[in-house]
């Protein structure tokens, strides 16, 4: 069972709020996170995945964004796993809704063990996405149908 995200836009709530809710059900279900703000000057230029060993150059000229990654103590063994955040353009993302835990899915669409996985999604997308559509288009161009996760994007001022 993957992690779950629920989104409710302004037209779906009684007071016009945009709501984003998310759970994590990985492993023992007590997997502490931290909320951080990544400023452009703190954005790394590249990232080495812990889970797949894939090394990628990160996009230049990044935006400020919030993210909820692993604790620093678990990042050494698990990786970044940014999970959810909102950038300076008000584009929100929930990522890492793992589909690879299902053996039936892997039987039909095996994962590339050295490829870009969900651990990297927030680092690759949140720093540069100006719109939810641009984020989707970038994901399809970058990941195509080989991405191992579900991800949701929403533009908060709609």
Alpha-carbon distance 34 to 70, whole Å?
Answer: 7
φ and ψ at residue 77, rounded to 5 degrees: -105, -30
Q: Are 153 and 92 in contact (CB under 8 A)?
A: yes
φ and ψ at residue 125, rounded to 5 degrees: -105, -45
Which listed residue (3, 54, 142, 146) is catalytic? Answer: 3
Query: What's the confidence (pLDDT) of residue 15?
Result: 95
Over residues 104-126, the pLDDT tens digits come to 767 776 766 777 677 777 777 77
**pTM higher than 0.85 for the full model?**
no
Alpha-carbon distance 85 to 63, whole Å?
Answer: 12
Over residues 24-50, the pLDDT tens digits come to 776 665 677 889 999 999 888 888 888
Can 3 be counted among the known catalytic residues?
yes
Over residues 73-89, the pLDDT tens digits come to 888 888 888 888 888 88
């Amino acid at each position: 069972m993957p992690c779950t995200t629920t989104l409710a836009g302004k037209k779906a709530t009684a007071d016009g709020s945009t709501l984003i809710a998310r759970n994590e059900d990985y492993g023992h279900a007590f997997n502490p996170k931290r909320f951080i703000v990544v400023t452009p000057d703190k954005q790394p230029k590249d990232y080495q995945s812990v889970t797949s060993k894939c090394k990628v150059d990160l996009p230049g000229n990044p935006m400020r964004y919030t993210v909820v990654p692993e604790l620093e103590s678990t990042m050494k063994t698990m990786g970044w796993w940014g999970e959810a955040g909102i950038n300076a353009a008000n584009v929100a993302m929930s990522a890492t809704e793992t589909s690879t835990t299902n053996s039936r899915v892997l039987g039909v669409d095996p994962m590339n063990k050295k490829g870009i996985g969900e651990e990297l999604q927030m680092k690759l997308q949140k720093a540069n996405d100006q719109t939810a559509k641009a984020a989707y288009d970038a994901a399809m161009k970058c990941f195509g149908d080989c991405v191992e996760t579900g991800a949701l994007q929403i533009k908060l001022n709609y």
